[in-house]
Amino acid sequence: MESNEIKLKYGCNPHQSKARVFSKSGDLPFTILNGQPGYINLLDAINSWQLVKELKAALNLPAAASFKHVSPAGAGVGLPLDDVLKSVYFVDDIELSPIATAYARARGADRMSSFGDWVAMSDTVDISTAKLLKREVSDGIIAPGYDSKALEILKQKRKGKYITIEIDPNYIPPEFETREVYGITFEQNRNNYQITSEILKNVITVNRDIPSSAVRDLLVATIALKYTQSNSVCLAFDGQVIGAGAGQQSRIHCTKLACSKADKWFLRQHPKVLEMKFKKGLKRPDKINAIEQYLEENLTRSEKQIWETMFETIPESFTKQEKNKWLKKLNNVALSSDAFFPFRDNIDRASRSGVKYIVQPGGSIKDVDVIDAANNYGMAMAISGVRLFHH
């Protein structure tokens, strides 16, 4: 096989059977160590690698991402997990290294969306990470290196077909990138804008206090947005994405989607969820689906009957009042938007999900209304002046 071209399993769909990736000049910056990737696999791989590489550079912490359909379902850095999150993320039975912890955070943000994900790691994959990945449903991984024993563990996944890619961490792409759509070539200079704490210098609200933890979370959210299909809004807390609203045509729908995911992330930490007793042998994806159903309102009778096959005892109902009371405890959440907020309704919705810190490009004719809304809720909002559309 030539080092500047790889034949792919297929393109976006199986009937698009003639697919390849290649470099017009020089070798490809990655090597396939195991498995045969498809077109979408490599789109996820290259986008997710950029995210974790940039996140590691910005925060000097190991970083991981869980990608689905060219957008992050979650991203996180290797901060320690408390006992509650270990339980919520189903990792309380395994010893985690910092890079494995980063992936546990990335996977834990939205476990339903992460089912069958693509994984990206900023650091060498160790045995701890490989053991964690071995038991998750995942399509493949990209990283700058692998411990030999970790690689052997990963090669056993998916009956030996788990896609494992090693990328050159020192690779620097050309300044310009091109793509073809309908036989027409598009060209632009690559989005190499470096996201640092400088984007938070222009705080325009009465509350101007953005503590270091919020700076970290705003950077996590913003770097994740840079590699999320637009329109997009991202919520982050404690060094990880907790809700991403990707690919919506309306800004308010981005915000509603991101906030609803963040709400469920926090509701999964409620004692009623933590105390659930599943039947012995129930698989992890089934547990995740059961919890997701439990957090939904107005379950059908048939859905409740299915629970009898999942739980030792059927959980008590989770009332709307109980949920709202619990959600009021969620606070100090960071929110980033890839473009300006056209109306204050985005801020109103974000306030109900504990958002305290915001960064957004600004530039809307309704900026004054948006700023007033942030002031109403005592939020600190920075105007970055940088739009981060990604298509």
Q: Is 391 among the catalytic positions?
A: yes
Closest of 227, 196, 235 to residue 60, by C-alpha: 196
Closest of 263, 274, 268 to residue 330, by C-alpha: 263
- Rounded to whole angstroms, the Cα distance separating 55 from 49 reads 10
Residue pointed to by tokens 């890619």: 165
- Rounded to whole angstroms, the Cα distance separating 367 from 265 reads 30
Q: Is 231 among the catalytic positions?
A: yes
Q: Is the backbone of residue 250 left (phi > 0), alpha (psi -120 to 50) or beta? A: beta
- Cis-peptide into 191, omega within 30 deg: no
Q: Which two tokens stand for residue 212?
A: 């270091």
Among residues 47, 231, 261, 270, the one annotated as catalytic is: 231
The one-letter code for the residue type at 316 is: E
Alpha-helix runs per DSSP H in 144-185? 148-154
Q: Is 270 among the catalytic positions?
A: no
Is residue 190 a contact partner of residue 176, using CB atoms and an 8 Å limit? yes
Among residues 68, 131, 226, 390, the one annotated as catalytic is: 68
Is residue 207 a contact partner of residue 378, using CB atoms and an 8 Å limit? yes
Per-residue b/e over 144-161, b at no fewer than 16 CB within 10 Å? bebeeebbebbbebeeee
Q: What is the DSSP letter of 9?
A: S
Among residues 69, 134, 155, 287, the one annotated as catalytic is: 69
Q: Which two tokens stand for residue 46?
A: 């290259």
Q: Is 15 among the catalytic positions?
A: no
CA torsion through residues 350, 355, 359, 363, sign: positive
Q: Catalogue the active-site residues.
A: 68-69, 231, 391
